[in-house]
Structure 1
Amino acid sequence: MKTGVFSIEGIKAREIDLPAVFGTDVRPELISRAVLHEASLRLQPKGAFKLAGLQTTAAMRGRKESYRAIKNRGISRLPREKLPKGRFGRVRIVPFAVGGRRAHPPNPEEVLVEQMNRKEYEKALKSAIAATARADLVKARGHKFDGNAPIVVDDAFESLAKTKDVQAFFEKIGLGSEITRAANGSKRKSGVRKTRSGGTKRPKSMLVVVKEGAKVLKAARNIPGVDVCTLKGLKAELLAPGCVPGRLTVWSEGAIKELANWKLVM
């Protein structure tokens, strides 16, 4: 499988062979599991204090003959505070009482991580990489671009240190409409979500994959909707946002060569 390489002037200079990983079968169900697995790793366990609502003297004695029995007193038979001289206080402990415990509190011991086998995750990641070479899947996600996928650029692209230079290069290779789509596509979330932080939905644009230490890692990260990463930081969430494979991806020629000998490190 061959693809063209764009020079820094924005013209196709030559063709290269793509690594075998781009020929992997696209498995949407595996990709979806991998994205959810990565998202679950960021969840934080939470739970109330285990004795919340239980640190009280309240008790309920149902036996009529026992000391502090509540029967035949004309009050509801519920756990009540123990006051001096055998008197009863307010209802406590039960969930429907003021200051009582919660009915079904969150459990801090609950397992939040959705586990995934290493080989299965590796297969999903390779499948997501292969989806970036399928022009039909990329266009089905809503990306706007001209030509074929994947988009491979010369290593000189990695030396671009200014955001305006990166944007100008994207215009040259026909990705200007994609940047405009992401920049103008921000929408306010509905309901109470918009009153919280991050109350704006921003479309995902292209993903840029380069080698370690490239200057473009900082230069391209501020373009709306664009994510930049190295091969080491490649994740299913970046390749398939929202569990939908086929993100428009710009690869540097050096990253493509590294991809031929790439091994997953979990």
Structure 2
Amino acid sequence: MSAAAARPLVTVQSLESDMATDGAAANSVPLPDVMRAAIRPDIVTFVHGQISKNARQPYAVSNRAGHQTSAESWGTGRAVSRIPRVAGGGTHRAGQGAFGNMCRGGRMFAPTKIWRRWHRQVNVTQKRHAVVSAIAASAVPSLVLARGHKIEEVPELPLVVSDAAEAVEKTSAALKVLKQIGAHPDAEKAKDSQAIRAGKGKARNRRYVSRKGPLVVYGNEGAKLVKAFRNIPGVEIAHVSRLNLLKLAPGGHLGRFVIWTKYAFEKLDSIYGTFDKVSEKKNGYVLPRAKMINADLARIINSDEVQSVVKPIKKEVKKAPLKKNPLKNLNVMLKLNPYAKAAKRMALLAEAQRVKAKQDKLDKKRKPITKIITYFCCLSMHLRFWVYLYFIGSLLLVSQSRASLMQPGWKLPCPVYLSHSVICLLQEEASAINSASKSWYKTMISDSDYTEFENFTKWLGASQ
């Protein structure tokens, strides 16, 4: 298979039945401009999806479906829903819900109508662009292979055969033609792929499905090859002036394997025009010009012509400075404000002076601790100790008898074990406290070494 589709001439494949003895010039035709048009899969997909809707048949449910029963709501107050219910009795149907889409035997929600907008109107120029893109894609071997066609034995693309193919009448002769040009494996692939359709379509006159084979395009009206090729599975036939996008790009996928007759191939320029000439058949139509003649952008940029005029590559890399916050970084703040260090120091000194002044003020308000205050503090602690002993002794006398208290190892309510000598001491102190009056207080004072008033006055005067 030859390589590029942008060559100026295309070889016409001769058949065994072709009796022409023309020279080399007669066996080649110039490549039409439509084969070099821009390939737009987006336009092809959109147009295919729109025009494929024009074959839809309207469908709808009956406008009486779900309402052919006598039913009326029971109203509120009966602990059941307000849905209409079938009247009557003597059957399970009586009392069942009706009419609603949630009811058995009821109508559907939003019943379908036949006046839906089934078909779509597509711009004529847009449809022509889609057909042109599909024709151009059929000349690219990679796209044809990607679509799944078996073209390994095909001599070249686009594949053009002599006009003798239009005179073929028998299907057996048509199969010989396919074998001569290397298109028979693709037809066999379509034949072997026939299978029963999945789903309900098999019962709706769409029982079998199969892959697509080659598309044969002829140019003369009433050509005999129509009856010869129409019975081969997967092979389709189309007239060059009535090319259909649904056949050129089945499913909206570019790359259909197309077999052209010489006469049909020569008529492409007159039907679709060129990049500079308006079409003769389609009023005012000119082929869409591509944005780029050469789509290899990397090759264009790296070419010597472009690299010789562009600026050289900048190898110097300038590192962006790291932005630092001057409110957190003192060195950055000093660059912006050299007085910031002195201001910060003055603020710290002022704060220290304020704290010191506050502390001095509090110290002046505090009164000094004298010996008389110390004496009363000690006296209060001494009294507190003896009162505590009095309280313990009272509890012991009230709760237990003297005989039980005399037993060694007696257990207090608290987890403390007292020896016999300690218990006797507590008993004596408690009895002394109970019998004491004013002499008890004098005894406490004598224990504190303040028995005589003179000694106390002397100590008080010495402390002052």
TM-score, L = length of structure 1: 0.84
1:229 aligns with: 238
Distance 1:102 1:264, change over 3 A: farther
**Partner of 1:232: helix, strand, or coil?**
helix
Taking the TM superposition and a 5 Å limit, the aligned residue runs for 1:83-102 are 90-102=96-108
1:77 corresponds to 2:86: no
Q: Which of 207, 215, 239 pairs up with 2:224?
A: 215
1:154 corresponds to 2:167: no
**Partner of 1:127: helix, strand, or coil?**
helix
**Are the equivalent residues in 1 in contact too, given 2:9–2:31 (CA < 8 A)?**
yes
1:117 aligns with: 123
Which stretch shows the higher mean deviation, 29-38 or 234-243?
A: 29-38
1:261 aligns with: 270
1:35 corresponds to 2:35: no
Measure, in 1, the Cα distance between the counterparts of 2:108 and 2:199.
27
**Are the equivalent residues in 2 in contact too, given 1:37–1:116 (CA < 8 A)?**
yes
Any unmatched runs of 5+ in structure 1?
Answer: 61-68
Q: Which of 178, 183, 187 pairs up with 1:170?
A: 178
**Are the equivalent residues in 1 in contact too, given 2:149–2:257 (CA < 8 A)?**
yes
Greater helix share, structure number = 2
Measure, in 1, the Cα distance between the counterparts of 2:193 and 2:207.
14
Distance 1:184 1:52, change over 3 A: closer
1:8 corresponds to 2:15: yes
**Are the equivalent residues in 2 in contact too, given 1:210–1:254 (CA < 8 A)?**
yes
Q: Which has the larger radius of gyration?
A: 2
Measure, in 2, the Cα distance between the counterparts of 1:142 and 1:74.
65
**Partner of 1:105: helix, strand, or coil?**
coil
Measure, in 2, the Cα distance between the counterparts of 1:119 and 1:81.
58
Measure, in 2, the Cα distance between the counterparts of 1:264 and 1:34.
18
**Are the equivalent residues in 1 in contact too, given 2:51–2:122 (CA < 8 A)?**
no
Measure, in 2, the Cα distance between the counterparts of 1:31 and 1:152.
24
1:44 corresponds to 2:57: yes
**Are the equivalent residues in 1 in contact too, given 2:35–2:139 (CA < 8 A)?**
yes
Distance 1:80 1:232, change over 3 A: same
Measure, in 2, the Cα distance between the counterparts of 1:215 and 1:160.
6
Distance 1:148 1:91, change over 3 A: same
1:20 aligns with: 33
Distance 1:97 1:7, change over 3 A: same
Distance 1:179 1:22, change over 3 A: same
For residues 31-81 of structure 1, give each alpha carbon's deviation from its aligned partner in whole angstroms, at most 9, with x where no partner exists: 112222232111111111234323555343xxxxxxxx6333454422235
**Are the equivalent residues in 2 in contact too, given 1:135–1:149 (CA < 8 A)?**
yes
Which stretch shows the higher mean deviation, 49-58 or 129-138?
A: 49-58
Distance 1:38 1:45, change over 3 A: same
Q: Which of 184, 193, 215 pairs up with 2:192?
A: 184
For residues 198-218 of structure 1, give each alpha carbon's deviation from its aligned partner in whole angstroms, at most 9, with x where no partner exists: 343311110000021100011
**Are the equivalent residues in 2 in contact too, given 1:150–1:249 (CA < 8 A)?**
yes
For residues 115-171 of structure 1, give each alpha carbon's deviation from its aligned partner in whole angstroms, at most 9, with x where no partner exists: 321111110011111111111111111222222211111111100101111111221
Which stretch shows the higher mean deviation, 219-228 or 134-143?
A: 134-143
**Are the equivalent residues in 2 in contact too, given 1:36–1:114 (CA < 8 A)?**
no
For residues 241-262 of structure 1, give each alpha carbon's deviation from its aligned partner in whole angstroms, at most 9, with x where no partner exists: 1211111101111112222221
Measure, in 2, the Cα distance between the counterparts of 1:134 and 1:264.
25
**Are the equivalent residues in 1 in contact too, given 2:17–2:164 (CA < 8 A)?**
no
Measure, in 1, the Cα distance between the counterparts of 2:224 and 2:47.
29
Deviation at 1:189, TM superposition (A): 4.2
Aligned AA (2:139): A
**Partner of 1:29: helix, strand, or coil?**
helix
Measure, in 2, the Cα distance between the counterparts of 1:248 and 1:90.
61
Question: How many correspondences in the alignment?
Answer: 254
Q: Which of 249, 252, 257 pairs up with 1:243?
A: 252
Aligned AA (1:26): I
Q: Which of 71, 93, 103 pairs up with 1:58?
A: 71
Which stretch shows the higher mean deviation, 188-197 or 225-234?
A: 188-197
**Are the equivalent residues in 2 in contact too, given 1:56–1:81 (CA < 8 A)?**
yes
**Are the equivalent residues in 1 in contact too, given 2:166–2:224 (CA < 8 A)?**
yes
For the aligned residue pairs, the C-alpha RMSD in angstroms reads: 2.7
Greater strand share, structure number = 1
**Deviating 4+ runs (over 6 angstroms):** 10-13
**Are the equivalent residues in 2 in contact too, given 1:10–1:169 (CA < 8 A)?**
no
Distance 1:43 1:190, change over 3 A: closer
Distance 1:191 1:56, change over 3 A: closer
